[in-house]
Amino acid sequence: MKKIFSIIALLAFAGSVYAGCPSKPIHGKVVGFDKESKTLTVAQGKKEKKIQVGSKTEMVGVDCPTKLAKGARVLIDGCNCKNKTASKIALSKGKGKKKEKKG
């Protein structure tokens, strides 16, 4: 009986280790930035995600999030599910077609 309880306890603790939300990078376009709540809204296709920008958020390619242009492509790393605060925000190149010069 003790073995069964110890196995169940081990499985419960092992399951809680994997219960965390994966921190996948977010690729999207800037929709807007709210200065009061320090929330950056990013569109991924038809979905919009709101991400908090904290004092420890590293900005790559731009000085502050207020200078992000609407429609700019960004890559957001380290956004967890608990508080949705990004650890890094970087400008990324778009997937747009290159225009070729004729002549």
Total tally of structural domains belonging to the chain? 1
| Tens digits of residue pLDDT in 37-92 | 888 888 888 888 888 888 888 888 888 878 888 888 988 887 666 667 777 888 88
Q: 76 and 51 in contact (C-beta within 8 Å)?
A: yes
- Is 97 inside any structural domain? no
| Tens digits of residue pLDDT in 87-98 | 788 888 765 444
pLDDT at 17 over 60: no
- Is 43 inside any structural domain? yes
- Is 70 inside any structural domain? yes
- Domain limits for position 62: 26-91
| Tens digits of residue pLDDT in 29-41 | 989 888 888 888 8
- Is 67 inside any structural domain? yes
Least confident of 4-13, 55-64, 94-103: 94-103
CATH of the domain at 41: 2.40.50.320
- Is 76 inside any structural domain? yes
Q: 77 and 91 in contact (C-beta within 8 Å)?
A: no
d(CA 5, CA 19): 21
